[in-house]
């Protein structure tokens, strides 16, 4: 996931010299710059798409799609309204180049750009299309890593209930904010609570009162997958009823 932040987009278009079109591939995209600096705004990259015309094409166009990778996952699309638009050349050009810059990249993550190329006829219909992927821009830095360490229970104040304590830990090297924890007892409606922050190395007990366990419990930290982590596959603990503590 991409979390709640959006990437501001800076863009610039240029026409490549007509004489160079014959030596260039039909279409391609490259990582031109990959920069990091103090502060989120300093983490940025620039990707350049290039294409040349084909027979019958009156206009050349590109659509950029940023992709991110973190936590051992595959690359996934980044939602950014500024990248929805089709970047079109002037009519009749033989080659077209477009430079797309993105800022606000997150430390500890990797990025690449997929470009969808289209060759349009005089009526705006696609004669041909292709997709290409750029090289990878890796931003230095750390991410949090959230884990459920243990679940214990004790009799609740109301008959038929139990007081559950779930110990969670940030085993990563960056703090996490607005950390949610979800507890499910015997498949009942989940109970969720949120803590404001969890520092690197911090262990935090979270308390719930719920129905007495008869079969199973499952505790999941960051259940909506809102926090980008070093590892995304270790956020849940499930099993039989917890021991009485």
**For residues 169-186, b (16+ Cβ closer than 10 Å) or e, as one string?**
bbbbebebeebbbbbbbe
CATH architecture of the domain covering 146-240: Sandwich (2.60)
CA dist., res. 75 & res. 237, Å (int): 26
Q: What is the mean pLDDT of residues 218-236?
A: 93
* pLDDT for the residue 24: 66
Q: At 191, list the tokens.
A: 């109970």
Q: At 46, list the tokens.
A: 């620039």
Reported as a pLDDT band with limits 50, 70 and 90, residue 71 is confident
Q: What is the mean pLDDT of the chain?
A: 89
The conformation of residue 244, written as its DSSP 8-state character, comes to B
Widest CA span in the chain: 84
Kindly report which listed range (25-39, 118-132, 139-153) carries the lowest average pLDDT score: 25-39
Reported as a pLDDT band with limits 50, 70 and 90, residue 161 is very high
Give per-residue pLDDT as tens, 181-193.
Answer: 999 999 988 899 9
Q: Is the confidence at residue 12, as pLDDT, over 80?
A: no
CATH assignment, 9-138: 2.60.40
Domain extents in the chain:
9-138, 146-240
- Residue 68: Cβ-neighbour burial (10 angstroms; 0-12, 13-18, 19+): buried
Q: What is the mean pLDDT of residues 15-32?
A: 70
* pLDDT for the residue 23: 59
CA dist., res. 10 & res. 97, Å (int): 15
User: Do the domains at 9-138 and 146-240 have one common CATH topology?
Assistant: yes
Reported as a pLDDT band with limits 50, 70 and 90, residue 245 is low
């Amino acid at each position: 996931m991409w979390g709640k932040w959006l990437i501001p987009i800076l863009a610039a278009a240029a026409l490549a010299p007509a004489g160079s079109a014959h030596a260039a591939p039909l279409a391609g995209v490259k990582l031109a710059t990959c920069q990091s600096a103090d502060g989120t705004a300093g983490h940025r990259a620039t990707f350049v798409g290039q294409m040349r015309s084909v027979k019958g094409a009156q206009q050349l166009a590109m659509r950029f799609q940023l992709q991110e990778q973190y936590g051992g996952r595959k690359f996934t699309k980044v939602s950014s309204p500024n990248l929805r638009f089709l970047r079109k050349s002037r009519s009749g050009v033989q080659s077209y180049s477009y430079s797309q810059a993105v800022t606000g990249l997150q430390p500890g993550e990797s990025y690449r750009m997929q470009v969808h190329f289209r060759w349009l006829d005089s009526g705006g219909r696609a004669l041909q299309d292709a997709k290409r992927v750029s090289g990878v821009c890796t931003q230095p830095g750390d991410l949090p890593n959230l884990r459920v360490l243990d679940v214990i229970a004790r009799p609740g104040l109301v008959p038929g209930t139990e007081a559950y304590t779930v110990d969670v830990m940030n085993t990563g090297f960056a703090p996490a904010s607005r950390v949610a924890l979800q507890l499910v007892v015997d498949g009942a409606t989940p109970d969720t609570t949120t803590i404001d922050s969890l520092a690197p190395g911090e262990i935090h007990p979270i308390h719930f009162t719920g129905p007495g366990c008869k079969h199973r419990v499952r505790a999941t930290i960051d259940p909506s997958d809102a926090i980008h982590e070093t590892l995304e596959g270790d956020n849940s603990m499930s099993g039989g009823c917890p021991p009485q503590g």
